[in-house]
A and B are shown apart, each in its own frame.
Chain A
């Protein structure tokens, strides 16, 4: 048996205002302070489309090689639910803004292109509050109601849960590069539903599908898909039939639970939204947007491997987020050493971010400061150990690399006399080890190096020490 998976991803656009009115879109503000007659669905209020929403959609269209419709129209999707003020959602139906795109993902068997059927503009709903403050009732906050979303529908070309999470990660990386969505799964600015079915391997016919909702992390997406595939295979193997339904992923119980949908609820009776005019996009508009596109992750990664001679792995890590790649390149402008800079950024900088749970923009160690440290390292004014020491010092307390180096006396000694003294002293203090080394126990070199470094308080240059040490132990 094999699985067939299609994903529907909603991304919340990071425009300042909502899709069809001028209310702000801030997350987590005091409830019901970001509403107006339009998003509250007051009779007679008329929606007006936010141009930025279209600009953002065109960006994603260009980045996914989608066909951008010269003319697209809005439709009403009719259903009653308390978080939807108007009794219908403004969406796009038969003429969406984008169609026929693709997204390349990395799998164990290399690159795989996943087709994107369509991407359309629609509006978000309000938020229900089910807390214990509401006894036999539900509270509603419409701050989010009317915020612009793009719904991205993939072709059923995803085969495994791993591919599904790779697709999601790639899409997240892309929308963050384009700066059209913050990609926050936990806060719901990116939401994913999966259509899952199974069939005999190689069969052309699709099985009956189940739609799974409510997976708010990569881990849950993988777990929910694996669970649902296993469940369907078991049903079929026991001679049963799959019933088409919508299910919710329950992360506590680790299982999908069928939604108690009322009959007819899927009958949305779409019709063209009479309050909005058609959206017309010409080549000029597309060209304007094309000029604003940043270098996309794939191109940037290729440039890093080709021009900077970084490994595939390093380039992948550094281009995982736009801010990180920018940080790396700003540091590189000063240090001029791609390999060394890549090591420090993917090692020390990422470690620091993880330990302090902070964002790159919050770091005291700016690209300029890191660049200076690396320059000191390259010109042998600092050794690696002390470079890391200064890195940590600045990360905690700020200040300038050269200043700390002088104040703490960390400047590397290239004075041969001083070096010879340290080496001689260490050899004199450890006569037995010296003898053992001379009789062939060469791994003791590390022991001596440690002792000499200690004596120099980290200032000795490792290469010079090695040279002098081996000379003396001949």
Chain B
């Protein structure tokens, strides 16, 4: 099995995901199926093939450095569960080192 329960739990924690024991079993099976397939692909010799960085064949989609209008403060804050004095409000983030 390419990926252990411990690794899945670590990734879940990093991605802030929660699920039950039962789902862990199912996830583990699904993930390992996928990864086993990737293992199979690894058998192909890719020695002299350039890495595919993007599925788009183009490059350089760029824009000019020109200011366009931003959202109003009210609109920007519309979807926030909590706001205060024009700020988004979140549970306390500890300021470290002080």
Q: Which A residues are closer than 8 A to B by beta carbons? A: 15-17, 22-24, 30-37, 40, 48-54, 71, 73, 78-82, 95, 128-130, 133-134, 136-142, 214, 247-250, 257, 259-260, 264, 267, 269, 272, 274, 276-280
A277 pairs with B89, CB closer than 8 A: no
By a CB distance below 8 angstroms, the chain B residues around A136 are: 91-92
Out of A16, A33, A71, which one reaches B65, CB within 8 Å? Answer: A16
> Would you give the shortest CB distance from A222 to chain B, in whole angstroms?
18
> Would you give the shortest CB distance from B98 to chain A, in whole angstroms?
7
A250 pairs with B98, CB closer than 8 A: yes
A17 pairs with B67, CB closer than 8 A: yes
A-B contact count (CB 8 A): 151
Proximity string of chain B (59-98) to chain A, C-beta cutoff 8 Å, 1 when within and 0 when not: 1111111111011110011000010111111111111111
> Would you give the shortest CB distance from B97 to chain A, in whole angstroms?
3
Chain A interface main SS type: loop
CA gap between A277 and B53 in the complex, in Å:
9
B97 pairs with A130, CB closer than 8 A: no
A139 pairs with B91, CB closer than 8 A: no
CA gap between A22 and B92 in the complex, in Å:
30
B93 pairs with A82, CB closer than 8 A: yes
CA gap between A337 and B70 in the complex, in Å:
52
Out of B15, B61, B87, B95, which one reaches A140, CB within 8 Å? Answer: B87
Kindly list 11 other residue pairs between chains A and B, CB separation below 8 angstroms, not including A32-B77, A35-B71, A78-B14.
A17-B68, A23-B68, A48-B61, A130-B93, A137-B84, A137-B91, A138-B89, A257-B97, A259-B97, A276-B61, A279-B60
CB nearest to A141 among chain B residues: B87
By a CB distance below 8 angstroms, the chain A residues around B97 are: 214, 247-250, 257, 259
* Residues 46-67 (chain B) with a chain A CB within 8 angstroms: 53-56, 58-67
By a CB distance below 8 angstroms, the chain B residues around A134 are: 84, 87, 89, 92
By a CB distance below 8 angstroms, the chain B residues around A95 are: 53
Chain B interface main SS type: loop
Interface status of B10 (Cβ within 8 A of chain A): yes
B70 pairs with A51, CB closer than 8 A: no
Interface status of B22 (Cβ within 8 A of chain A): no
> Would you give the shortest CB distance from A59 to chain B, in whole angstroms?
14
Out of B54, B93, B95, which one reaches A274, CB within 8 Å? Answer: B54
By a CB distance below 8 angstroms, the chain B residues around A267 are: 10, 14
A32 pairs with B88, CB closer than 8 A: yes
B88 pairs with A277, CB closer than 8 A: no
CA gap between A24 and B31 in the complex, in Å:
43
A49 pairs with B95, CB closer than 8 A: no
What are 8 sample pairs from A and B whose C-beta atoms fall under 8 A apart? A33-B72, A48-B62, A51-B64, A138-B90, A248-B96, A264-B13, A276-B54, A277-B54
B54 pairs with A17, CB closer than 8 A: no
Interface status of B42 (Cβ within 8 A of chain A): no
By a CB distance below 8 angstroms, the chain A residues around B94 are: 260
By a CB distance below 8 angstroms, the chain B residues around A81 are: 93
> Would you give the shortest CB distance from B80 to chain A, in whole angstroms?
9
By a CB distance below 8 angstroms, the chain A residues around B70 are: 23-24, 33-36
A82 pairs with B96, CB closer than 8 A: no
CA gap between A36 and B87 in the complex, in Å:
15
A15 pairs with B65, CB closer than 8 A: yes
> Would you give the shortest CB distance from B78 to chain A, in whole angstroms?
10
B87 pairs with A139, CB closer than 8 A: yes
B65 pairs with A51, CB closer than 8 A: yes
CB nearest to B55 among chain A residues: A274
B87 pairs with A32, CB closer than 8 A: yes
Closest A-B pairs by Cβ, 10 of them? A248-B97, A139-B87, A52-B65, A22-B68, A280-B59, A140-B88, A51-B62, A73-B53, A138-B93, A257-B97
Interface status of B26 (Cβ within 8 A of chain A): no
By a CB distance below 8 angstroms, the chain B residues around A40 are: 71, 76
B13 pairs with A54, CB closer than 8 A: no
Out of A24, A140, A278, which one reaches B59, CB within 8 Å? Answer: A278
> Would you give the shortest CB distance from B14 to chain A, in whole angstroms?
6
CB nearest to A53 among chain B residues: B65
CA gap between A48 and B64 in the complex, in Å:
10
CB nearest to B64 among chain A residues: A51
CA gap between A142 and B91 in the complex, in Å:
16
